[in-house]
Copies of this chain bind each other. A is one copy, B any other.
Amino acid sequence: MPRHPNKKRAPGRPRHGTLTRELILKRALGLMDREGFEAITMRRLADHLGVTPMALYNHVRSKKDLFGSIAEYLTTQINFDCDEPDWRDRISTCFRRLRDACLAHPSAVHLMESLEAAPPAVFRPMEITLAALDEIGVTGKDAVRIYFLLMNFTMGQLSYEIRGPFESLDPAQALAGSRLKGAEFAYIQRSVSFAEWDFDSAFDFGLSVILNGAEQISARRTKSRAGRRARTT
């Protein structure tokens, strides 16, 4: 619904600016949250702001720019930092906060996926992860790999969780009407009931598996260093 439904504004610059870049971003995010990512249209957003579609182009270069800016607005609001002494806790809470932010805005993942360049703020989790891993002697390629493992898992599960994959993931539903026989999926059907799936604990499980992997690398490195020391002395 437009803000001025009855009194139509005449052309020309209004006395006080009705539009701001920030207002546009906020309203766009709100519209996205309520009506979904696909619903965001320059025309619909303009309508929502009580304004002509073209008015948006005074504050935003293009739709791509708009989406990029929303993502930046969203990610810069996340506080990734915390002062836990344990390196595992620092990494965990960092990705948990990212996850929480994305769950709070159901279209956030879809939005991120649509971007060609990630907003700069998402480098914070990377920096925090690399710093924490450095503490236990995991550096270089291995550290970056652990980071990607964490990031890809986090975003991947979010993607599943948000679009409610379990209407389509429930084998009973997904297999219905397909050429594949249900008999070929014996283990799936015998597995845990999808109705009682808990994404939160699955996420914590995933984090701990990956961080255990980091710890193993750490142990291996210190051992091989000790081995080298023993040989040289």
Interface residues of A (CB under 8 A from B): 76, 113, 116-118, 120-121, 123-124, 126-127, 130-131, 134, 139-146, 148-149, 151-153, 155-157, 159-160, 163, 165, 167-169, 171, 174-175, 178-180, 184-188, 191-192, 197, 202, 205-206, 209-210, 212-213, 216
Tell me which of A113, A118, A156, A159 has the highest count of chain B C-beta atoms within 10 A of its own C-beta.
A156
CB pair A191–B140 under 8 Å, yes or no, is yes
How far apart sit A179 and B202, CA to CA, in the bound complex (Å)?
Answer: 35
CB pair B213–A144 under 8 Å, yes or no, is no
CB pair B213–A145 under 8 Å, yes or no, is no
Report the minimum CB–CB distance from A3 to chain B (whole Å).
Answer: 30
- Oligomeric state, in number of copies? 2
Question: What are 21 residue pairs bridging A and B, where the CB atoms are less than 8 Å apart in the complex?
Answer: A76-B179, A116-B168, A117-B168, A118-B168, A120-B175, A120-B179, A123-B174, A123-B175, A130-B187, A130-B188, A140-B192, A143-B191, A148-B160, A152-B152, A152-B157, A152-B159, A152-B206, A153-B153, A153-B156, A155-B159, A210-B210
Report the minimum CB–CB distance from A65 to chain B (whole Å).
Answer: 13
A206 contacts which chain B residues (CB < 8 A)?
145, 148-149, 152
A120 contacts which chain B residues (CB < 8 A)?
174-175, 178-180
A191 contacts which chain B residues (CB < 8 A)?
130, 139-140, 143-144
A159 contacts which chain B residues (CB < 8 A)?
113, 152, 155
A118 contacts which chain B residues (CB < 8 A)?
165, 168-169, 174
CB pair B202–A213 under 8 Å, yes or no, is no
How far apart sit A192 and B145, CA to CA, in the bound complex (Å)?
Answer: 10
A142 contacts which chain B residues (CB < 8 A)?
205
CB pair A202–B140 under 8 Å, yes or no, is no
